[in-house]
Structure 1
Amino acid sequence: MSAAKRTIAQEVLIDLYRRLEGLPARCAERRDLVQQAAQLYGVSESTLYRYLRTLYQPKPVRRSDLGKSRVIPSAQMERYCEIIAALKIRTMNKNGRHISTVGAIRLLETSGIESDYGFIKLAPGQLNKATVNRYLLQWHFTPKTVLKDSPAVRFQAQHSNECWQFDLSPSDLKHLQEPVWYDKQKGRPILMLYSVVDDRSGVCYQEYRCVYGEDAASALLFLFNAMSAKADPEFPFRGMPDAIYLDNGPIAKSRVFRNVMAYLGIEVKIHEPASKAKRRKAARSKGKVERAFRTVKECHEVLYHLREPKNEAEANQRLLEYLKQYNDHQ
């Protein structure tokens, strides 16, 4: 602040401003007041007018160089923060634990890091934890912002029976009152809903099966029924696909299942598993078969509360009648 500016008190400027506010813009009395005040405090008229213009202007509450490093150039600080963020991601385990900011700074100071920018080694005390953490948040170099899922690649078969999506889900009915077969040593079997959906047309075929788990024999029997000609000639699902898309569960890992599919000339495609770096989630492209499960459970199985099927054959018969209506809308 200059010496000339310190000679005019804030109260004097406020009083002069209020007196000038009551006078017209081009008034001789207004000019006389400004000249008298300028002569009294030893400043020019233009300087006094400048003080009056800035009298009620809001002043910033933060520094003009907010967010910029004053000790290290911004480009160099950004490079260091990028390296520290890369160290955090590189040392992250499956539980999300990684090297701390203090540990990364100590590593850069003691042994240095070989990076794309060359060999980086810092002098002791050049960086501190609070400054680095603030810039990591400001420049979005945290693991939550850096580690994003890779974009999902959507696909769709060009022709019918080119690809089937296959999956199974526990039925909301859970079990039947009179299961077809029953092993007292294993307990009551679970009623599973097996489903295949044509990737191109969206036509669906499903069956109920009482099983104790995901076994290859039940899956092969279901696929045989799906590929075979149906008793109802109007049911729009038959033929053999070129490929079957399913998750990497016990069925896909079964050697018997893969041998049968290879003998039939059907390619087995599995969902991509989740990556260790958590950049890709598992089973991201099976929405069509999951949509069929949801529709059957919400629109068909809720009616079982009114009249529950007695056995597996009756449940499959009622399900087949519903699927005829479902496929007509596809």
Structure 2
Amino acid sequence: MNAGLVERLTEIEAQAALLGRGERSEYLKRSAQDLGVSLATLYRKLESVSVKPSRKRRSDAGKTELKLEEAKLISAVLVEAMRRNGKRLMSVKQAVEMLRANGKIEAARIDEETGEVSPLSENTITRALREYKLHPDQLLQPDPVSRMKSEHPNHCWQIDPSLCVLYYLPRHGKDTGLRVMKEEEFYKNKPKNVVKIEQDRVWRYTGTDHASGTIVARYYFGGETSANLCDFFIFMMQAKEDVHKDPIRGVPRMVMLDPGSANTSSAFKTLCKSLDVHVQINKPGNPRAKGQVEKANDIVETSFESGLRFTEVHDIDQLNALAERWMRYYNGTQIHSRHGMTRYQAWNKIKPEQLILPPPAEYCRELAISAPKEAKVSADLEIRFGGRFYSVKAIQGILVGQKVLVAKNPWEENGARAATFDADGRETWVAVPEVVFDDMGFRADSAVIGEEYKAPGNTAAQQHAKELDKMAMGAETLEQAAANRKGKAVPFGGSIDPFKHQEDTLATRNTLYLERGGQQMEYNRMEVAEQMLSKVEIAKLLKPRIEAEGGDWKQAVALITKHYPDGVAASQLEAVFDKLKTAGRLKLHKTG
């Protein structure tokens, strides 16, 4: 209504308020005729401009007789009795009755004059729960969220795979077209039927560019797999057939996904790591984190898949061709409510330095299965990776024998990158050049023998070793250090006493030990068994001596057998010999 009409209606309302019931009705009828509207329309217009007195607030508004502790207990019982989907199974009345019966709450009003106690009504308790912000309807509201933005197109992509429940492709029989999945045949609660067509079900992979809202959709067989995810991600990055109509391409800075097994697979993470793409795995149960791609799934279902009922699709390639045509149409014509442009117009605002073009698709697939590996630095300051040699001389702080992490270089065919760490300890990857060999197998940059000499640059360890050598020898140059060392100079000029710490320690501690009693060891009690000589051994030892003395050996043998049948101790051998010399006819006489 314009200002003039409002002013006229205000005058009519003021005049009507001064008239009685019958006069007021007649006045309003005439006023309606003057304005050219019906009486009902006049009443409606007067209602819109009238100023009504505000309702007086109750004096006890905001106050409740239900104690806070009791309200919390009632609320906790109501929430615990809910299903996971939020359906309430217990009423407030039932919860209060149960808690009262168990003596957990009173939920009562006390009359201050009479002292009479009366239970609070269900409405009063419900109103109190809302006053305390403890009503289940309030508790189950979604948490406040923080809006997130992307700095530019390709800053962040979101990807979400979803089972296309409407269509499947039979692999057997004459029918090879995509058809509506009949609910009575493939009902979700019949696992055998689901398993039967598991590999024939069509999965839709949907991706969005967070800044522009561009939607990319592609269909796959085989379920939610790492191979399908990698293929879809590579498809999003690659230039399409006509970039003037379908411009989205390039490597994103980051990609967001749900924590599915395929999303967290090593192949996908390896691909993203090789391309310097940060993978953001959202927390379970947080659908708002990637609400854009969830909405994109709904758009694809309603705007594209709904039309598939009216056409015949023969294979997955034809389905993807139709999807690509729909993407060009939808992204190129439909206005996005946030930025007021088509999605492709918004994406096309990307700057050259923000558009990182990916390697070819086949090379990207190689990156997905080429995990970084450790390589040992040789004496030539080289590493071997993938059957090729790469120089790491330019890496600061590299050491011979050090192990470095090396991977394929996504921006250079047959190239490699090595992992290093910056001053803050963050991992960074630097390209390392391939070592080139000539026809004879020599390194192309090697010095020519007899003509030149190329001294390799000092590593950090070598440089430190030279500094320490001069320090130990008290020299200014390496030559002086070598001369001092040759002259048997004492390191550090003899200023370091190698045993000083022992003397200082003993002097400062001055430790005294209490004498301890001990127990004397028994000694000289070991019994050593003396060797016993048999009669044969006696004969062997004495025969040369007896014969040398001119004695009768046969008679000696008879005496040994008679007197020493059990042998004799080795210490008694001389006594035996003396006895044989003086025994009867055996008496030995020296022959002249």
TM-score w.r.t. length of structure 2:
0.34
Change (3 A) 1:243 1:88: farther
Aligned to 1:326: 330
2:277 paired with 1:266: yes
In structure 1, distance between residues paired with 2:327 and 2:125: 55
Alignment partner for residue 210 of structure 1, among 217, 221, 235? Answer: 221
Tell me the alpha carbon deviations over residues 63-121 of structure 1, each in whole angstroms, 9 at most, x when there is no partner: x99889xxxxx67x35x2x2122234556547458994453783479xxxxxxxxxxxx
Change (3 A) 1:179 1:186: farther
Change (3 A) 1:314 1:131: same
Cα displacement (A) at 1:218? 0.8
In structure 2, distance between residues paired with 1:313 and 1:322: 14
Change (3 A) 1:94 1:174: farther
- Partner of 1:226, secondary structure, is helix
Identity of aligned residues (%): 24
Asked which structure has the greater CA Rg, the reply is 2
Aligned to 1:106: 103
Contact 2:256–2:282 (8 Å) recurs in 1? yes
Aligned residue runs from structure 1 range 56-135, under 5 A: 77-78=65-66, 80=67, 82-90=68-76, 92-93=79-80, 95=82, 100-101=95-96, 103=99, 106-107=103-104, 130-131=119-120, 133-135=122-124
Contact 2:203–2:220 (8 Å) recurs in 1? yes
Contact 1:215–1:251 (8 Å) recurs in 2? yes
Tell me the alpha carbon deviations over residues 300-321 of structure 1, each in whole angstroms, 9 at most, x when there is no partner: 3343334322111121112212
- Partner of 1:268, secondary structure, is strand
In structure 2, distance between residues paired with 1:224 and 1:298: 26
Alignment partner for residue 168 of structure 2, among 170, 175, 188? Answer: 175
Contact 2:177–2:313 (8 Å) recurs in 1? no
In structure 1, distance between residues paired with 2:270 and 2:80: 37
- Partner of 2:259, secondary structure, is coil
Contact 1:172–1:297 (8 Å) recurs in 2? no
Uncovered stretches (5+) of structure 1, i.e. residues with no partner: 1-63, 69-73, 110-125, 275-281
Aligned to 1:31: none
Change (3 A) 1:144 1:252: same
In structure 1, distance between residues paired with 2:151 and 2:212: 9
Aligned to 2:241: 231
Aligned residue runs from structure 1 range 269-284, under 5 A: 269-274=280-285, 282-284=286-288
- Partner of 1:194, secondary structure, is strand
Aligned to 2:156: 163
TM-score w.r.t. length of structure 1:
0.58
Aligned residue runs from structure 1 range 11-22, under 5 A: none
Aligned to 1:136: 125
In structure 2, distance between residues paired with 1:305 and 1:227: 30
Of residues 302-311 and 316-325 in structure 1, the stretch that sits farther from structure 2 once superposed is 302-311
In structure 2, distance between residues paired with 1:129 and 1:227: 71
Counterpart of 1:103, as a letter, is L
In structure 2, distance between residues paired with 1:128 and 1:308: 75
Contact 1:204–1:237 (8 Å) recurs in 2? no
- Partner of 1:322, secondary structure, is helix
Aligned to 1:189: 200
Which one has more relative contact order, counting CA pairs under 8 Å at least 6 apart? 1
Contact 1:236–1:327 (8 Å) recurs in 2? no
2:275 paired with 1:286: no
- Partner of 1:293, secondary structure, is helix
Counterpart of 1:244, as a letter, is V
Tell me the alpha carbon deviations over residues 177-198 of structure 1, each in whole angstroms, 9 at most, x when there is no partner: 5489xxxx85352111211110
In structure 2, distance between residues paired with 1:258 and 1:220: 9
